[in-house]
């Protein structure tokens, strides 16, 4: 074994920055999540805030909605993204143009996307229902119907985010050597077999990246929901992030911090095992 080249003290600046900007605030927030806090004074209340978060009508909906939102946006982005990427790496003339068009929604600010879609989803004056009306179908109230609103927002999120997933997949697909496909063709493998036996295993690391990024993004989602529905109607589209934001605005700082801790734990508890599982699916080339 080689002797150490660098003195461990080289790490000190980094550790210092990491501790100051991440570790210490995290420990402080764990503490304040167990208090009733007015920013100047606090009273220790143990796990009361956490209990409230899981029992109170307007708060408990958050965990459920967040998980549903993260799972669905992540799933759709992973699947649609892969399908589009396979299409766009096949020999076709306009693929560069289509790639750019697909990526375009991602360049627009989420706030703008949210505002545009909420006006297109207006129940009587919106574009969607005008088109449906022209076909003789009475369109629903996309964002006003409590059982539909969350799915409307999810659809917009997928529309906006699928471009990034596609780009990641395209990069992964281009890295697969052409020779594998040639060899498989000679052995008589059909299109689906080539996809199933060559493409899918070799693009696994891209799939993992897309899933983990989309899932974490989904759990933390705030801007799109806030511009489109502000968590409404009622609490139908409230997620952890929008609930935390509202508790902060009401001046419930301890409760709001508890929400952040729950969100942190939720991400850690799901993403670490998920990532481990996904890594185990990867194959060595």
Partner 1 sequence: MKLFKKMAFTVLILLISTGAVFAGGGSQGGGSGGGAGGKKQVLTFLYDKSSAFEGIQAVIDAFEVKYNVEVELEVRPAGTEGDNIIKTRLATGDMTDIFIYNTGSLLHALNPERNLVDLTGESYYGNLDNAFVTAASVNNRLYGIPSASAMIGGWLYSKKIYKELGLQVPRTWAELLANLEKCKAAGKTGLLASYKESWTAQLIILSDEYNVKALAPNFPADYTAGKAKYATTPVALRGFQKYAETRAYLNSDFMATTYNDAMDMLINGKGVHWPMLTNALSNMYALYGDKVDDIGVFGQPGDDPNNQGLTVWATDGLYIYKNSPNVELAKKFFEFYVSEEGIKAFLSVVKPNGPMHIKNVSLPANVYEGVRDMLPYFNSGKTAPALEFESPVKGPNLEQLCIEVGSGNLTPQAGAAAYDADVQKQAIQLGLSGW
Q: Which residues of this chain interact with partner 1, rule CB under 8 A? A: 36, 38-40, 43, 48, 52, 56-58, 122-124, 141, 143-146, 230-236, 245-246, 248-252, 254-255
Between 71 and 132, CB nearer to partner 1: 132
Residue 264 Cβ vs partner 1, minimum distance, rounded to whole Å? 21
CB of 14 to partner 1, least distance (A): 15
CA distance 230 to 245: 10
Compare residues 35 and 89 and give the one whose CB is closer to partner 1.
35
Q: Which is nearer to partner 1, 160 or 246 (CB)?
A: 246
CA angle 57, 62, 65 (to 5 degrees): 120
H or E element in which residue 42 lies = strand 42-44
Q: Which of 60, 49, 81 is nearest to 158 (CA)?
A: 81
What Cα–Cα distance (Å) separates residue 32 from each residue in 36, 39, 244?
8, 10, 14
Nearer Cβ to partner 1, position 63 or 78? 63
Asked if 171 contacts 206 with a C-beta cutoff of 8 angstroms, the reply is yes
Could you give the dihedral angle defined by the CA atoms of residues 6, 11, 13 and 16, in that order, rounded to the nearest 10 degrees?
Answer: -160
Least separation in angstroms between CB 159 and partner 1: 20
Q: How far is the CB of 63 from partner 1 (least distance, A)?
A: 17
């Amino acid at each position: 074994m080689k002797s150490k080249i660098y003195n461990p003290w080289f790490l000190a600046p980094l550790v210092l920055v990491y501790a100051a900007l991440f570790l210490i605030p995290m420990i402080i927030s764990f503490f304040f999540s167990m208090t009733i806090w007015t920013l100047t004074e606090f009273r220790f209340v143990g796990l009361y805030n956490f209990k409230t978060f899981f029992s109170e009508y307007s708060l408990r909906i958050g965990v459920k909605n967040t998980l549903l939102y993260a799972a669905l946006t992540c799933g759709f982005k992973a699947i649609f993204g892969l399908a589009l990427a396979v299409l766009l790496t096949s020999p076709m003339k306009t693929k560069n143009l289509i790639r750019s068009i697909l990526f375009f929604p991602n360049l627009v600010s989420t706030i703008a996307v949210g505002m545009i879609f909420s006006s297109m989803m207006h129940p009587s004056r919106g574009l969607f229902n005008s088109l449906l009306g022209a076909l003789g179908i009475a369109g629903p109230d996309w964002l006003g119907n409590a059982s539909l609103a969350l799915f409307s927002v999810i659809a917009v999120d997928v529309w906006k985010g699928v471009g990034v997933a596609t780009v990641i997949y395209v990069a992964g697909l281009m890295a697969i050597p052409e020779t594998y496909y040639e060899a498989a063709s000679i052995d008589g493998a059909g299109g689906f077999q080539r996809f199933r036996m060559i493409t899918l295993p070799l693009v696994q690391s891209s799939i993992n990246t897309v899933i983990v990024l989309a899932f974490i993004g989904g759990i933390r989602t705030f801007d799109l929901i806030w511009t489109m529905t502000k968590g409404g109607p009622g609490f139908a589209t409230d997620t952890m992030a929008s609930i935390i934001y509202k508790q902060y605005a009401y001046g419930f700082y301890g409760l709001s911090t508890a929400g952040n801790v729950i969100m942190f734990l939720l991400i850690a508890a799901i993403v670490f095992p998920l990532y481990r599982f996904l890594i185990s699916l990867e194959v060595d080339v």
